[in-house]
Amino acid sequence: MNHPTPSLAERHPITIRPQLPRLDMYGPIHKALRLFMADTLTRLGSADLDDEADRERVLDQLDAMLVQMRQHLEHENDFLHTAIEARRPGGVRRFADDHLQHRESIGNLEDESLSLRQARDGQRGSIGARLYRHLALFVAENLEHMHREEVENNASLWSLYSDEELGTIHDQLIASIAPEEMAQALRWMCATLSPQELAGMFGGMRQKAPAPVFEGLLALANRHLSQERWAKLARALGVPPAPGLVTV
């Protein structure tokens, strides 16, 4: 008697087990940086480079984005790479090499940004087009790199460290960030994180940050969030969505 050939699902059964979420130190900041890079690339491509005000605005944003990307590399090197290497020597060699290349690319883009600032009439079009193409390549490389970090490096951290240990590393990383850097990152997080992610992030801040620091960051979020998104965050945190209102 002939038996039907087992299906792929039958040959490779998958047992789905509920898993508690692990701390993801890459996801939220990567969301913010993806938007920061994409917005900067779009603004550079659409800028009127012969209009001084327009040109300076987009180059100021580009320079700020490049500074943030360099700072982000250093935070990953100092805390996340160091943590993985401590328990799995050589575990981040490929990512460390990427970071060296990204640091060089950041320097080159900063040089090109300066060249565009100093360019004379008639030169800006070609210099701007070159800068735009090079920035597009930088963004593409970082999008692929960030994906691998979120998959591979998170897997390493989760296998090597307990939740409590990861929380300690995360707190040390956050404590190392200067206020102005935090404020800029928060601006882009407010635009790209889901309401649930924002509520979780600010809930953690409220537990660990001094009250004045938490209140300042929450006020900053209020300025950057739409009315609807702010109302959702305020409701999740149990704070009034507007002065004088009572939460229910």
Looking at the structure, tell me whether residues 207 and 119 fall in a common domain: no
Distance of CA 67 to the CA centre of its chain: 13
Whether 2 shows a pLDDT value over 70: the answer reads no
Whether 69 shows a pLDDT value over 60: the answer reads yes
Whether 129 shows a pLDDT value over 50: the answer reads yes
Looking at the structure, tell me whether residues 153 and 228 fall in a common domain: no
Q: Give the pLDDT confidence of 104-119 residue by residue, as tens digits.
A: 999 999 999 999 999 9
Looking at the structure, tell me whether residues 124 and 200 fall in a common domain: no
Q: What's the longest Cα–Cα distance across the chain?
A: 85
Looking at the structure, tell me whether residues 139 and 207 fall in a common domain: no
Asked if 103 and 19 count as a contact pair (C-beta separation under 8 A), the reply is no
Q: Give the pLDDT confidence of 180-207 residue by residue, as tens digits.
A: 999 999 999 999 999 999 999 999 999 9
Both tokens assigned to 8: 């792929």
What is the CATH number for 95? 1.20.120.520
**What residue numbers bound the domain in which 83 lies?**
24-176
Whether 20 shows a pLDDT value over 70: the answer reads no
Q: What is the mean pLDDT of residues 33-51?
A: 98
pLDDT at 21: 82
pLDDT at 112: 98
Looking at the structure, tell me whether residues 77 and 199 fall in a common domain: no
pLDDT at 4: 67
Distance between CA atoms of residues 174 and 229, nearest Å: 24
Looking at the structure, tell me whether residues 87 and 204 fall in a common domain: no
Question: Sorting pLDDT into bands at 50, 70 and 90, what band is 15?
Answer: very low
pTM of the predicted model as reported, rounded to 2 decimal places: 0.88
Structural domain contains residue 11: no
